[in-house]
């Protein structure tokens, strides 16, 4: 493979879209101007009439993709388990919704339908014949705080191994492989309130070493920091979110699972290159994209990597451009 195949998930433009500063067509035009091989749309966010879009809307979407020369690659859905008062959806209902979504995706020209882990491995297996008939790659998303060794994803892996089908697979999201708080986590704090240079150093140590938190606090003061820096570190860098804590892993202090990434890669036709911030030098703090791209190159990965921006910079297009340039730089390096 001579080059990396780039996708852009329109979700990365969600900030301007949900605030009414950009239409769907504006977002598609942005994706075209940045330059990419394919796009992803998150159905509940941008598909009019979701979960049952009209033929008219789908035709207009296809026309826009043709006009802007964009290849529809991934149609992202969720399992709405709580849409009935007083009970969760039954498996037959979840399957019906998934099949309908695959049919809509097929009509619009998408190749991949991405769901999340509420679509259990046993249900996913039952959906395989429908995916095969439609020619759709049905993929489950591996998203942080889950990782390849989380028990439910070991079950998915066993399913993929047993079926060995082109129509079942995984969308690996780089939130599952991040280490350290995102590079923009300190951005909301006004300049001068804390020593951001010191806190960035502490964040790097927290993400890459086993130094206890109390020792890191002492390092803050040794570097010339103060109580405001300690408070910010404890609140923003060291925090264990109650939701993620139940998985037994501090949200930020994780160790990238290179072996797990390599093991799952053969079942991936599309992945989320999740990122939160690209600095002006083309670096992405907290996520070791270089070594993951190296593994992709070594394993002859031929699928897409979609730049998925979840930061706060109003210039989302520039952030995505930097991300694509970084990925290409690492791909060419190896």
* 292 & 156 share domain: yes
Please report the pLDDT score of residue 251 as a whole number.
52
Q: Which two tokens stand for residue 96?
A: 């019906």
- Mean pLDDT of all residues in 114-129: 96
Please report the pLDDT score of residue 247 as a whole number.
43
Q: How confident is the model at residue 249 (pLDDT cuts 50, 70, 90)?
A: very low
Q: In which domain, by residue range, is 272 found?
A: 5-179+254-333
* Cα torsion 244, 273, 261, 325: sign: negative
Q: Are 329 and 26 spatial neighbours (Cβ–Cβ below 8 Å)?
A: no
Establish if 208 belongs to a structural domain.
Answer: yes
- CA–CA distance, 124 with 168 (Å, rounded to integer): 8
pLDDT tens string 264-281: 999 999 999 999 889 889
pLDDT tens string 40-66: 999 999 999 999 999 999 999 999 999
* Cα torsion 176, 229, 196, 310: sign: positive
Please report the pLDDT score of residue 164 as a whole number.
96
What's 154's domain CATH number?
A: 3.20.20.150
Q: Are 202 and 233 spatial neighbours (Cβ–Cβ below 8 Å)?
A: yes
In this structure, the dihedral spanned by the alpha carbons of residues 273, 277, 281 and 282, taken in order and rounded to 10 degrees, is 10
Total count of domains within the chain? 2
Q: Under 8 Å CB-to-CB from 182, ≥6 apart: which residues?
A: 276, 277, 285, 286, 311
- CA–CA distance, 157 with 124 (Å, rounded to integer): 12
Residues in the chain: 334
pLDDT tens string 136-187: 999 999 998 788 998 999 999 999 999 999 999 999 999 888 877 777 788 8
- HSE-CB at 322 with a 13 A cutoff on CA atoms is 18
* Cα torsion 49, 53, 59, 61: sign: positive
167 vs 253: which has the higher pLDDT: 167
* 156 & 266 share domain: yes
The DSSP bridge partners found for residue 141 are: 171
Establish if 260 belongs to a structural domain.
Answer: yes
């Amino acid at each position: 493979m001579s080059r990396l195949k780039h996708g852009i998930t329109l979700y990365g433009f969600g900030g301007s879209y949900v605030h009414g500063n950009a239409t769907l067509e504006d977002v598609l035009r942005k994706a075209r101007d940045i330059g990419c091989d394919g796009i992803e749309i998150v159905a509940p966010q941008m598909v009019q009439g979701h979960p049952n879009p009209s033929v008219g809307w789908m035709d207009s979407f296809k026309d826009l993709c043709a006009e802007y020369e964009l290849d529809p690659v991934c149609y992202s859905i969720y399992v709405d388990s709580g849409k009935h008062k007083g009970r969760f959806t039954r498996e037959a209902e979840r399957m019906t919704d998934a099949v309908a979504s695959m049919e809509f995706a097929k009509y619009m020209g998408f190749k991949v339908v991405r769901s999340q882990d509420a679509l259990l491995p046993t249900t996913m297996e039952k959906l395989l014949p429908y995916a095969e008939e439609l020619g759709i790659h049905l993929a489950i998303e591996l998203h942080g705080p889950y990782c390849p060794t989380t028990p439910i994803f070991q079950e998915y892996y066993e399913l993929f191994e047993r079926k060995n089908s082109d129509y079942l697979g995984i969308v690996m999201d780089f939130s599952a492989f991040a280490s350290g708080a995102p590079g923009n986590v300190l951005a909301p704090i006004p300049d001068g309130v804390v020593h951001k240079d010191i806190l960035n150093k502490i964040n790097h140590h927290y993400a890459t070493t086993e130094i206890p938190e109390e020792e890191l606090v002492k390092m803050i003061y040794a570097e010339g920091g103060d109580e405001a820096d300690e408070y910010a570190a404890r609140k923003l860098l060291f925090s264990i979110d109650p939701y993620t804590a139940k998985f037994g892993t501090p949200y930020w202090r994780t160790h990238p699972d290179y072996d797990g990434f390599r093991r799952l890669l053969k079942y991936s036709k599309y992945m989320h290159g999740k990122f939160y911030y690209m600095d002006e030098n083309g670096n992405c703090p907290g996520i070791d994209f270089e070594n993951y791209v190296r593994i992709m190159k070594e394993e002859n990965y031929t699928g897409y990597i979609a730049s998925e921006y979840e930061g706060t910079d109003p210039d989302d297009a520039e952030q995505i451009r930097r991300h694509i340039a970084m990925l290409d730089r690492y791909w060419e390096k190896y």
